[in-house]
Amino acid sequence: MNDTSTISTILLDRDGVINFDSPDYILTASQWQAIPGSLKAIARAKQAGFQTALISNQSALGRGMISQTTFDAIHAAMMLAIHQQHGSLDVVMYCPHAPDAGCLCRKPLPGMIQQALEQLDATASTTVMIGDSLRDVQAAIAAGVRPILVQSGYGDAEAILTKARALDASIAVYPDLITAMNALLDSKG
């Protein structure tokens, strides 16, 4: 499953992959700050013909930490920044539920990934999920999608990698999204 020449769809986590994350959550549009190279990576993916989708847990909504209006402003800031770099996302999916809500969409469950694959008319075998957490890896594996781990999130990257390798010994690991995207594009030829 290391061959990426057949990849046509890239699923991306948001916090820690596209933008800097915080243990205190991203609660305002001004707190949303792109990780260097991440917006260029999304633009490069689109220019190379990949379908791209956002798959993100956003429990600050379910926890009552932010309103839908504030969340929409954060999302609008992200989309504007992506568009300014000539990138786009084909599908945006997020789980607004708190961890204890019992929903089927919150990662590590595969619900959002499965929905995105349906909307994109994509197959799991031609899709990768790029995330920074064990939940991202678990959701990808549960959906039959190849996980790719980036170490640009705020968590203990080495501990996350150790746990991820216990699930997938051959998981590809990169420091950030632009490095992961460059590797995907180089292998696509």
What backbone phi and psi angles, to 5 degrees, belong to 91?
-140, 140
Catalytic option among 3, 15, 21, 72: 15
Element (H, E) at 187: helix 177-188
Q: Would you call 131 exposed, middle or buried from its count of C-beta atoms within 10 A (0-12, 13-18, 19+)? A: buried
d(CA 188, CA 165): 24
Q: What is the DSSP string of 72-119?
A: HHHHHHHHHHHHHTT---SEEEEE-S-TTS--SSSTTSSHHHHHHHHH
Given 3, 13, 72, 132, which residue is catalytic? 13
Is 186 one of the catalytic residues?
Answer: no
Q: What's the CA gap between 115 and 136, in Å, rounded?
A: 15
Q: Pick the closest to residue 143 from 59, 79, 53 (CA basis).
A: 53
What's at 163, amino acid-wise? Answer: K
Annotated catalytic, 168?
A: no
Which amino acids are annotated catalytic?
A: 13, 15
